[in-house]
Amino acid sequence: MRSLFRLGVLGRLLGFLIFIAPATAVAQGIVTGEVVVLQAEVVGIDRVDRTLLLKREDGSVTSLEVGHAARNFDQIRVGDTMTATYVESVALFLGDPNEKPGVVIGHAAVRAKEGDMPGGIVVEVVDVSAVIAAIDRENNIVTLREPTGHLSVVRVNPDEVDMDNLEIDMIVHARYTEAVAISVEHPGK
């Protein structure tokens, strides 16, 4: 999982909205996301190094090293299908002006039980908030004061954000969620 900080905290996250579509408008915010499902056939297994050779739907072959935290590796067989579902979403919404900006990071992981087919889920959620420090309505630019005090200048997509409703000292919240689920199935099951 990459953390929000590799993406560049709230300012860059808001700027991210300029490039993504479609977004769904909610009560006082915007939610956008993407789900990608990839399947590959197991075409080789190195049990000593815990490495799988996976053939993708386009015919290309890639290797995947499976860490020791993954249970039931010995149940994987050549011919099995590995499915990875990746979900990424961003929710942006305005908060109460009396709130204090901050950063909250949460992680969760679930892995297969002993004896089950290999699989698991990993989720990371990062909540970041900032204060609107300046607004340039003519150029669709907002300056945000992050919890660290750093100022980020962001060009806002006017089709996504009603600039007329923004005010100095409003709190802007961003929730970035990333999740990966992996499962392995024997053919015909």
Report the C-alpha gap between 173 and 51 in whole angstroms. 41
Q: Is 0.75 surpassed by the pTM of this model?
A: no
Report the C-alpha gap between 39 and 130 in whole angstroms. 39
Q: Pairing state of beta strands 29-46 and 103-111?
A: unpaired
**Model confidence pLDDT, tens digit, residues 57-102:** 999 999 999 988 889 999 999 999 999 999 988 888 787 767 777 8
| Cis geometry, peptide bond prior to residue 118 (ω within 30 degrees of 0) | no
Query: 185: part of which helix (H) or strand (E)?
Result: strand 171-185
What is the per-residue burial (b if ≥16 Cβ within 10 Å, else e) of 113-143?
Answer: eeeebbbeeebbbbbbbbbbeebeeeebebb
Report the C-alpha gap between 157 and 65 in whole angstroms. 41
Phi, psi of 112 (to 5 degrees): -60, 150
| Domain chopping of the chain, boundaries | 4-36+85-185
Report the C-alpha gap between 181 and 110 in whole angstroms. 9
The predicted pLDDT at position 11 comes to 45
Question: Shortest CA distance to 177 belongs to which of 13, 11, 49?
Answer: 13
Helices (H) then strands (E): counts for the chain? 2, 10
CA angle 90, 105, 27 (to 5 degrees): 35
The predicted pLDDT at position 26 comes to 43
Residue 136, token pair as written in the block: 């340039």
**Model confidence pLDDT, tens digit, residues 113-144:** 999 999 999 999 988 888 899 999 999 888 98
126, 179 in Cβ contact below 8 A?
no
